[in-house]
Amino acid sequence: MKRLIPLALLALTAPALAQPAPEAAQGRPQRAYANPSALIAADIAIARLAREKGHWAAFRETADEAAELLESGRVLAKTALKDRKDPAKADQWAPRSAWISCDGSAGLTFGGWQNPNGGNGEYISVWQRQIKGKVDWKWVLRDGQALSAPLRDLDWAEGKVADCRVRKPTEGAAAPATGKRKPEKQSKVPPILPLAGPIPPSDAPTGADSKDGQSHDGTLAWRSTVMPDGSRRFAAWMWKDGAMQEVVLRNFKADGA
């Protein structure tokens, strides 16, 4: 599923919550309630927050507890940003593409940025839908690089939703209650299912730091790799037409290269 989302409209709206999919009928694909415009809006909202509260303040406020920054190496955001001072003027950025899992539990945004000195670049963000708290989406991974020229301006962003997998009759089914025993209280956090299909094995060289992630339903997966020389690679796959198809592949230069 592909959607074209006007950026001018999203800039005026608050991030929306991607609703979880209802229970699927046995042997049939679950319905997609994922909303890629929510990711675009969340990305735009951070840029607006950066103008209001400061560049790094905005990232601290919207980071997941386990969020990581890829800055030559992989660093925990809450540690790296704890005492980082905001620049006089924040960078500005605009998402241009978004990908979201069928269940709406995780997604990606890709876009371009510009700093106050006229420098340009690109970035990729990984997002996780929040079960608790006031913020619907928080970022869990962020990487990017400077570019010699800005990305082409767009008036719209493209959003794509993963196909929904076919659940097996026993998948996610609760055990029948017996006697007067009360059923166990179920967690609000959905279980993490195996990937809907295989993705390529990591080909990272010896000494590289490579890490995989996925959505709860296994219809979206990503891999971030820091090479021994500090350069990085980001790849992502989405469940489409019965296979995990590559939707993102970006190579980032080492900082200062």
Mean pLDDT within 244-250: 98
Q: Which one is predicted more confidently, 15 or 227? A: 227
Classify burial at 33, counting beta carbons within 10 Å of its beta carbon; exposed 0-12, middle 13-18, buried 19 or more: middle
Q: Which domains does the chain have, with CATH numbers?
A: 2-13+31-165+192-252 (3.10.450.50)
For residue 28, what pLDDT band results from cuts at 50, 70 and 90? very low
Evaluate whether 124 touches 110 at the Cβ level (below 8 Å). yes
Instruction: Specify the residue for token string 């809006």.
Output: 41
**26-40, 53-67, 104-118, 150-164: the lowest-pLDDT one:** 26-40
Q: With the CA atoms of 94, 100, 105 and 109 taken in that order, what torsion angle do they form, in degrees rounded to the nearest 10?
A: -20
CA dist., res. 172 & res. 194, Å (int) = 12
> Residue 67 has which token pair?
């969020």
Report if pTM > 0.85.
no
Burial code (b: 16+ CB inside 10 Å, e: under 16) for 224-243 equals: bbbbeebbbbbbbbbbbeee
For residue 16, what pLDDT band results from cuts at 50, 70 and 90? very low
* pLDDT value of position 32: 45
CA dist., res. 62 & res. 124, Å (int) = 15
Write the pLDDT tens digit of every residue in 122-137: 999 999 999 887 888 9
**Beta strands across the sheet bearing 243-252:** 209-214, 220-226, 232-240, 243-252
* pLDDT value of position 50: 94
CA dist., res. 98 & res. 124, Å (int) = 10
* pLDDT value of position 22: 37
Write the pLDDT tens digit of every residue in 147-182: 999 898 877 889 999 999 886 655 544 444 445 545
CA dist., res. 230 & res. 72, Å (int) = 5
* pLDDT value of position 4: 60
Evaluate whether 34 touches 22 at the Cβ level (below 8 Å). no
Amino acid at 140: V
* pLDDT value of position 27: 43
CA-to-CA separations, 210 to 3, 102, 122, 198, 206, in angstroms, rounded: 31, 25, 21, 17, 10
Mean pLDDT within 238-244: 97
